[in-house]
Structure 1
């Protein structure tokens, strides 16, 4: 058995999840916290708030076997 055959037998397949976190802060005028949250979510869904690469915060790698 040569080196190539041994390496192929010991090779495994891994699934790696890559998660990038983007973040921004928006000001919302509302009567209470819940209403403000709903307004912010609606703004995001309607693309009034868009996150860009400049809003990058972190990258995380998670290994699944």
Structure 2
């Protein structure tokens, strides 16, 4: 009988996460209000993050079952 060294390829799921960051100034009475206003500005596209705001890339591998 002939022995074969065949490696079986498996499929892996790799998550690629890019982090963008920008600091905006918000006038508010307290931290909670400032955070809500910043979130509203972002959701309404008054603050937009661009490729120049890039900070980091991470790669996460998910275990296969």
Alignment TM class, shorter chain as reference: 0.7 to 0.9
Structure 2 portions without partners, runs of 5+: none
Selected match of 1:30 from 10, 13, 28:
28
TM-score if structure 1 supplies the norm length? 0.87
Structure 1 portions without partners, runs of 5+: none
- Equivalent pairs, count: 61
2:44 counterpart residue number: 46
Q: Where is the helix percentage greater, Structure 1 or Structure 2? A: 1
Cα RMSD between the aligned structures? 1.3
Stretches (4+) displaced over 2 A:
none
